Amino acid sequence: MAAVTAAMVKELREMTGAGMMDCKKALAATDGDMDKAVDFLREKGLAAAAKKAGRIAAEGIVKTVVEGKKAAIVEVNSETDFVAKNADFNAYVADVANQALSTSAENLDAFLAEKWNKDTTKTVAEALSSEIAIIGENLNIRRFAQVEENNGFVASYIHMGGKIGVLVDVETDVINGNIEEMAKNVAMQVAAIKPMYTSESEVDPDYIAKEKEILTAAAKNEKPDANDKIITGMVMGRIKKELKEICLLDQVYVKAEDGKQSVGAYVAEVAKANGANITIKGFVRYETGEGLEKKVDDFAAEVAAQAGM
């Protein structure tokens, strides 16, 4: 068997645009034959995928799956919203969600390297590459998470057909329609208001310290003649207001009739009415394309470029 050198891997990578490890694997499988290695990558869908890898995949969908006490959420990106609405793409993302439900992977790299449940001759990454070749757009499994609650249940909510997905971890000793409805309402709150934390106890002390530092400087600029007691009062008031905005249970419940009831008070009200002990232990919120740069097409420039203008 011919030795696979770094130079050979580099050459194949430049020829096909495929990943380094994929090129190494292809050369090893074809005894170092460059042409056969190219065919190997094309057959696996890896060369076709690589040619599209430079394109920005910032659309796509979020899917959730709940099975018993366990749930999973995934975000899979595509280049266009058109593909995000495609039935085959949606079916593929559902398969990714089911994979995430059963995975023991602790990070995305490990997830991509494991065997694909629907075809164990492939890895998750290879199945993704095949899907890219079929659909004709760059796709990306961006993130996944699992939530399990043995002393209650996990509530799921999908907004706008997959633009936003939410899982809420509900610990409760009573499960009925009223409590399930409450959990869905809380999940909708998470989708709409986008809290950063479940409760104040989750907030990083370093974050609070930094906010105090910033707000103290701002308060002193506003009131240079104020004493320390007044400045401290101003700062703590502003921090308290900020925490009410970023902590789920302290937020004003969006469906509150009086416009004042907090989410925590709403949960407590439902718990009391149903004779239950309920704790909202946490949540996961994914928004499609969150933080990604989205491609802006300039069709006039594209046509001009193709016409050699």
With beta carbons less than 8 A apart as the criterion, state whether 234 and 223 touch.
Answer: yes
Quote the pLDDT of residue 55. Answer: 66
Confidence of residue 53 (pLDDT cuts 50, 70, 90): low
Residue type, 263: V
Tell me the β-bridge partners of 146.
72
Quote the pLDDT of residue 93. Answer: 98
- Pick 220 or 43 by higher pLDDT: 220
Residues sharing a CB contact under 8 Å with residue 85, sequence separation 6 or more, in sequence order = 161
For residues 21-48, b (16+ Cβ closer than 10 Å) or e, as one string? ebbbbbbbebebeeeebbebbeebbbbb
| Cα gap 251→261, rounded to integer Å | 8
pTM (2 d.p.): 0.76
Arithmetic mean of pLDDT, 293-306: 49
Mean pLDDT check: name the lowest of 42-56, 61-75, 159-173: 42-56
Confidence of residue 48 (pLDDT cuts 50, 70, 90): low
pLDDT, one tens digit per residue, over 240-250 is: 888 999 999 99
Most confident of 51-65, 98-112, 212-226: 98-112
CA distances from 202 to 157, 242, 303 (A): 23, 14, 52
Can you tell me whether residue 177 is helix, strand or coil?
Answer: helix
Nearest 5°: the CA angle 33, 39, 41 is 100
Confidence of residue 294 (pLDDT cuts 50, 70, 90): low
pLDDT, one tens digit per residue, over 69-98 is: 999 999 999 989 899 899 999 999 999 999
Residue 120 has pLDDT above 80, yes or no: yes
Question: Whose CA is closest to 188, among 154, 159, 153, 147?
Answer: 159
- Pick 173 or 9 by higher pLDDT: 173
What residue ranges define each of the domains in the chain, with the CATH number in brackets? 6-51 (1.10.8.10), 56-148 (3.30.479.20)
Quote the pLDDT of residue 172. Answer: 98
Confidence of residue 306 (pLDDT cuts 50, 70, 90): very low
Residue 304 has pLDDT above 90, yes or no: no
Residue 204 has pLDDT above 80, yes or no: yes
Residue 175 has pLDDT above 80, yes or no: yes
Quote the pLDDT of residue 2. Answer: 67
- Pick 114 or 57 by higher pLDDT: 114
Question: Whose CA is closest to 157, among 73, 92, 279?
Answer: 73
pLDDT-above-90 percentage for the chain: 60
**Rg for the chain (alpha carbons), in Å?**
25
Arithmetic mean of pLDDT, 162-175: 97
